[in-house]
Structures are given as structure tokens and as C-alpha cells.
A and B are shown apart, each in its own frame.
Chain A
Amino acid sequence: MAFIPHTPRDVETMLASIGVTSMEQLFDEIPAGLRVKSLQGIPPAMNEMEIGRLMRSRARQDGQLLCFMGAGAYEHHIPSAVWAITTRGEFYSAYTPYQAEASQGTLQLIYEYQTMIASLTGMHVSNASLYDGASAVAEASLMAVRANRKSKSQRILVPTTVNPYYRKVAAAMTCNQGLRFEEVPYAPASGCTALESLAAYEGQDITALVVQQPNFFGQLEDVEALADWARSQGALLIAVVNPTSLAILKPPGEWGEKGADIAVGEGQPLGVPLSSGGPYFGFMAARMEHVRQMPGRIVGRTVDLSGREGFTLTLQAREQHIRRAKATSNICTNQGLLMTAATIYLSLLGPQGLERTAAASHARTRELVAALSRVKGVRPVFEGPYFHEAVLSCDRPVGPLLESLASRGILGGFDLSEHYPELGSALLVCATETKTTADIESYAAALGEAMQSMRAA
């Protein structure tokens, strides 16, 4: 019996202790008509050797492409120690640390994580993680509605330079509460949110402005001006940031005169494998004045009965298990294990290693943009600074081009035509520190060949 340790004799003794004669009797309160007849749709059991063989063959089937794709998930080097420690049973198979005395390891680790995230973002406080970057934008929007008491409109301005999937998720998760997201267009030359397009909203009741830095195109927004604009309008500022970039880019807490109110993002770049999209984790940090409006778990340091330092979940009156219908969110389970991996990753990288990772990724992307732009028919779309991701236009349709590249073992980037049809045949590319000059050259060569053969066809 898979993972069930009972011997027939155990079963006999146990049934006798209960005072029943059969297993069946334990289910005598369930109406007979409801009982399952059989589970024909479930295949027969496989032992570990058999499942191992099946899974290895399926993994082999997928193979591995040389990855030049970003668009919200980034391939970075992950030190061996990160997952060796994260998958230790004491982290992997523990529950949420409600029983503080038996969970000091997880609790202290969360406290260390909160410290790192707060410092990276330049904010005062961090929670213990949310599901992912996209849902974190939804939670930040709901939090802004609670925190901005002067605003009654529940209107949130979201530039179209914010990750389109984040915008979709935020809308899906908040529409039943009446939040309205209003899209702000970008300037065609810079690929950035222009202050002029915000002018239409001046003097209106706006609850919050969302700004992504670097934005979905990789372009750097003028966060100073956007932050100050939000402040001047009584709107809160929600920053959506890439954590790696924060080693070299200005943290949201320092944007403009007052800084952002809430900073969120996708934590995946910090030691989490790409893994078809999850599990990742969302991070959220905020100014202290908003801490009671935060969703999710928060750990605090305190002392025990003997005066000894210890860690515990705190501010729990915000949460669903106490506040029920009036909780700040329904979130309960979050992404603890991924937050664990990120904390170990950030410890191994440290301030210098993270800065080098950010700088090397950026340098590789510049190298990539230069190499690909030398291919006939390919050119960069936007002017102005970008970080570790950029948009290229191609004079051949991107869909077939990417297929052709995939057949050459290359994941060439993200096809922007569905979400940004106005850009025509455009491709979002990314190179991280994991790519070498040889990798970049082979991409450029493959792209040249693919374009060539599409022209010939």
C-alpha cells in the first residue's frame, strides 16, 4: 500500500479498539447511494522505479532550448546550495509557522527575508510573500483602496507598459469589488509612460497609479516624475519592480520626493527556476503607515517569557483566520518555500554579487541587441535607456520566425504582436548573465538564417 504503514494485524487491533468489525463500518454515516463504485479513470499504481522512468522520458521529450526569453521570468544562475537547503525536510515539510516555538527556523528566516526585501525596495516593511508578481499587483491595488482613505473612486491608472498579464490578473482578481483599471498609453518613441498622457486625469479622484520599472518593454520609466505626479494628485504610487534590477536601479522608496507607497514584484529571479511558470513568489513591501492594510503574513521579533529573543507571526488581526469577512485578503498559504530559496540566494549573492548579476545581465542584453541589430531587417524599436530586456522589430512575421529559431534550439523571445499589435512584427528579447558571447553569436547567426530562408520562401 503506497505510503500506508499498517499491517493486517494493526488494522484488526485498531478496529477492535474503535469497537467496529470492519473498515466499512467507519463510513456508516455516509448515505449509501453516495458511495464511490470504482475509480476506473485512475491508472494502476506505479512504483518509484517506474514513475522515475516515465518522468525522465517526459522530461527528455521537452529538451532544453537556449533561452533568450524574459517577459516576466528570467533565467539566472542558481547556486547549488539554494535548493540543497531549501529542500531539507525541516523547511520542505513544515507547516505555516503558527506554532512559534516549533517554527523558529522558518520564522527567523522570514524576518531575514523581510529585511532584505525592505532594503532592496527601499521601503519600511515587507510581508512574507504572495503568490506571484501578477497577483501581487492585484493585492497592491486592493491595499491601495483601503489605504487611500481620501479617495472614494477606486480608480487605478495602469500604463500599458505594465506587464499585460499582470493587468489581466489584477482585473480578474478585483473586478468583483468594483475596482476600475484605466489604461494610460505610452509614448511611441520611448516606449515609456508620458506625463502628457496623465494630464487628462489631473484634478480627478484617482486612488493609485501603477508604475513598472523597468517596464514590460525593458525601458526605464521616468519614475521620479511619475511618483511626484501621483503625489500631487493624492494618488498612491504602486511600484512594480524586478528585484535583480534593484541592485543598480533606484529603489521605489526613493522615487520622487516621497517615494512609492507600495512596491511589489515577481520574486522568481532570486533563485527560483523557470519551471514552466511556477511555483514563483510575489513580494510586497510598503511604507510603515500602510502596514495594517497589508495582506498576508508578517513576522516580528519579540521576546519569550525568559526575555530571550524570538520570532512570531504578528499583526494577525488583519488576516482571514481572525478577521474573516473583514480580512485584508483571503490569502492564507503563500509561497514560503520560494521565499526561503530567495533568502538563501540573496545571502550567497550579497550586495556585490547581486550588483554584478544585474550589471552582467544588462551588458549581455546590450551585446545581444547590438548583435541582432546587425541582422538585416532587424532594428531596435525604442530610444532611451533600458534594462536587461529590449524590443526589436523584424521585417518578417515574428510567429514563424520564433518557430524556426526553436527548431534550431533557440528560444528567441516573446512575440509582442498579440498584446501590442501597433508595434507590428516585434520581439522582446533578454539575455542574462548566463549567456556567453558565443551564445549570442549563435542566436544572431540563427536569426540571420531564419530571416534569410523566410525571405527566400
Chain B
Amino acid sequence: MSPGTSASQAAIEHRRPSREKVIFEYSHRGRGATDQWPSAPPAAAMADLPARLRRSTPPLLPEVSELETVRHFTRLSQLNFSIDTHFYPLGSCTMKYNPKACNQYAMLPEFLARHPHSPDAQGQGFLVCMYELQEMLKEVTGMQAVALSPMAGAHGEFAGVAMIRAYHRARGDLARNEIIVPEAAHGTNPATATMCGCVVREIPVNADGDVDVDALKAAVGPNTAGIMLTNPSTLGVFERRIEEVGRIVHAAGGLLYYDGANLNAILGKVRPGDMGFDVIHMNLHKTFSTPHGGGGPGAGAVGVSARLQPFLPIPVVGKDGERYRLLAEKDLPQSIGRLSGFMGNAGVLLRAYIYMRMLGREGMSQVGEFATLNANYLLARLQQVGFDAAYPRRRASHEFIITAKRQARELGVTAMDFAKRLLDYGFHAPTTYFPLLVPECLLIEPTETESKDVLDAFVTAMAQILNEAAQEPERVTGAPHTMPVRRLDDVRAAKQLDLTWKPTAQS
């Protein structure tokens, strides 16, 4: 039985969940969740505010009851796929289970109530967690020091490249403004280099997914600030010549940046510090299981080797005897500065801390192992049912690439079609069309928290879709059929910009 295709399109339309109104359409003047409002102060309370600085018309906010609000947003939530509800094999995103305990204990009332400018003395319980988090991150990455304030992966990347620049500058080595990135790199790498005032030089990878060492040798020189690498790479394979890459870049006077997007693959197995990296960012919302939240918050802690330690972004959590405190400008005068109004995404950091304590030493070393086992198993099974691996001669890391190039050519069914049809089968789509290097690619990352049963069900669905692609390709190319909406008109969205709701004349 294949979902959503047995009946006519009209019948399918009928079965779709009904559209949820935009919240403003529920609004009635004079209605409200009045229990949430403070009592009105006397009008005189605002007499000191001059009229010319006052607002003249109220903002467009909905006037709805508490129940209407709860129902509306609950319904909206039900239109989403999520880890809690669906297998979410999104490559390069590490969609693993977010343990409930991490949320529950990060949201204890005292943690939530603590003002960021509270004195360190009134936050020793919180700060010891942060200090121990730094220590544990140092241990699993093999770096000398860690700072926690960057608020997402890209923010951590910014901190990392800014430290590389500060390091060269402090040595009077002013010409180094080139950042080398492999062509398969995440878009954030070149974008970060630009934000740091650097020039980007892209180098190719070879047919087996390793960096083209000859091209690297030709690219390095007196202008090289550093290289940004993800290892395992975005191609889902381990960079085997990493030590040689490191020697080449270091010999040329550059530094090595580790993009921690794929750290889950090697957690407990290999440490970036041991591979020779000088600076690393970690996506705590990937490897350390803090929630993705529909697009954040993340946390992009950075780790450094000894030579970059003076440049860490502030604040860093320090320890004087038995007291913990936030180190600031006075303690780290060469710091690249502050990247956050306070100390970064503290609540996210607490969740990562709880997760790491729950895994402990043994659990930590199993993460990379079982993530790799799941990926290699899924790859083997998908190959068995007729899919092509992009790098068949390589071991998969925690993720791998299937290329639908053959199916696109022979059946007219693209990687995007497979991705959309998977939604009908109750699986979130893998990452599609990234990396751009591989045509018609599906980047698949199952993570260690999925069971063999789930992986088998996914293989069955993929095999069925492949069968549909051969028998009735329009079922696949017209997918999804069972979701709240069918494929959306992106061109219209970009040309006829409708970015805010506007009241119609009647309402």
C-alpha cells in the first residue's frame, strides 16, 4: 500500500489536514487572555511621557483568548515533522533524540530566574556546570581551551576565523588574509571568511572525496591565513590525508580550522586536537543533542590550541580556588572581544552539559561508533535495493551520499522527487542538493539514536519509491500527496513578496 495515491487528486485534497487560519483571523476587538495582563496603572502613571514620543495607533497584535491561542499554536505544531514524531535523516544536521531530562533540568526555576548581570557569587551552581562543560569539551576534542559564548555554528566559525586573524596580526604577519576551503564545504565557511574580511580560495576534492593535495600545495603561500575543513567531510567520508594536509598548511604558516558540523561521526574515536587542528567550533545542537528548535537556538562553542588561547572570545568561565567566575577584558586583553550581549546561549549550554553527564565516559565513546554503524548499515541496505552510492569505494562516516543521477536520467525522477515522496511515507527528507559537487544527491545521516527497525522501514520505503519511479513516475514527481500542502510556488513567493499579514477591508 502506498500512501496517498489510491484516489483521485480531488479525494486527496479532501483528506489533507485543513488549513489553519493565520492567528490574526481569529482576532476580535475586545477579546483577550486577560488573566495574563497586569492590572492597569492609573492614567497619570504615564503623564511624564511626552506626546511626541508616544505611539498613536496600537500595534497589529491578535486579540484572542488563551484557549484560542493554545489551540492555534498546538495545531500549527501538528503541521511539523520533528524528531519526536518522525525519523529525520537530514544529512549534516545530526537530528538525534533530544533527551527530555536535558530540557527539564535546564529549566529549573532558579536557572531561569537568574539575571545575566547577577554577581558570580549568586551563580556558583550555574557556573560550575559551565566550567565543567568547558573541561569536558576540551577532553573530547583534544583542545587546550574552550569558550562557550558563540550562539550557533556559524557564530563559532566567525570566532574561529577571527582568532586566526588576530593570531597572525599579533605576530605582525599582516598579509595573511586568505582562507582555503574545499569546494564541498558548507556555505557558512566561505560566508564566514568574508565576514572576517578574508578572501576565499576554493580547492577541489578528488574522485574518492579526499582533498586534492596537489591543489592545496599550489594554493598555500605567504597569504594563507588558514584552511577550514570538516572531517569527516560533507561528502560523508573521512579525510584520510589529514596529517599531510596539516603539515602543508602549517609549513606555509597557516592554521587549521575544524568545522565541527560532523563531530558526531568521530566522537570518542578521534579528536580534532590530535589531528593537528588549531581551532574548532562545535555545534552543540548537533553532537551534544540540544534541540534544533525549528531553526535554533544553537550553540557554537569554540576550542583552541595553546597558541590561540589568548584570543578566545569573552566571557570564558574561570576558576579561582573553589570559586567560579566569568573572565572578561581584564583577564584576556588580547581577546577577539564579545560576540554576545551576555555570555551566549546559557540555557542551551546547560542542556549540553546535562547530556554529556548522562552519556559519561563510556557513552561518549559509543556515539561515534553507533552513528557510524547506522550509516554504514543504511548505505549497505540501500545499495542492495538498487541505489547508487556516490563514493562506493569508501567507508561511510556517520552519513553518506546516495546519488539519483541514474534514476533522473533513466526515469525522470530526481533526488528532490525522492525526498518529497518520502514525506508521504512518514519520513523526513534527507538533505538534497548539498553538497553541490555530487549530482542529484541525497545526504543521509541516521544518527546513533535510531533503531535497526526504523532504518529497515526507511529502506523499505525507499525501495517502494524506486519501484513507483519505474512504474508510475508521476506518483513520485507529484509528491507529496498527504502533507498539509503540495509543492509550493517558490517563484511566486520571491516575486510577489507577501511577508506580513494585512487586514482586509472587512476585518
Contact = CB atoms under 8 A, between A and B. Distances in A.
B490 interface: yes
B269 interface: yes
Interface stretch (B40-48, B249-257, B402-410): B40-48
Given A177-B197, A333-B153, A67 B110 contact: no
Given A172-B337, A249-B55, A51 B488 contact: no
A69 B154 contact: no
A49 B295 CA distance: 30
Interface stretch (A231-239, A354-362, A440-448): A354-362
A209 interface: no
A361 B22 CA distance: 30
Contact of A312 (B117, B372, B493): B493
B110 A385 contact: no
Contact of B124 (A62, A88, A118, A178): A62
Contacts of A52: 101, 104-105
B191 A329 contact: yes
A353 B36 CA distance: 7
Q: Which of A172, A310, A333 counts the most B-chain CB atoms under 10 A from its CB?
A: A333
Interface stretch (A130-138, A183-191, A195-203, A372-380): A130-138
A16 to B, nearest CB: 10
Contacts of B2: none
B327 interface: no
A253 to B, nearest CB: 11
A129 B121 contact: no
Contact of B494 (A223, A314, A344): A314
Interface residues of B, number: 206
Interface string B264-283: 00101111001100000001
B73 to A, nearest CB: 5
B80 A94 contact: yes
B277 to A, nearest CB: 11
Contacts of A309: 19, 485
Contacts of A320: 154, 186-188, 190-191
A325 B124 contact: no
Contact of A101 (B50, B78, B423): B423
A148 interface: no
Contact of A304 (B39, B153, B384, B485): B485
Interface in A54-105: 54-65, 67, 69, 71-73, 75, 77, 79, 81, 83-85, 87-97, 99-105
Which A-B residue pairs are the 7 nearest by beta carbons?
A45-B360, A277-B342, A89-B84, A172-B337, A337-B293, A336-B295, A277-B116
B375 to A, nearest CB: 9
B171 interface: no
B115 A69 contact: yes
B58 A351 contact: yes
B318 interface: no
B448 interface: yes
B50 A172 contact: no
Interface in B39-81: 39-42, 45-46, 48-50, 52-56, 58-64, 66, 69-70, 72-81
B500 A125 contact: yes
A423 interface: no
B113 interface: yes
A371 interface: no
22 contacts: A26-B373, A29-B237, A38-B361, A73-B116, A99-B81, A105-B76, A132-B340, A132-B342, A168-B337, A169-B339, A278-B347, A320-B186, A323-B191, A325-B191, A332-B152, A347-B69, A356-B39, A357-B37, A359-B46, A362-B46, A363-B45, A403-B119
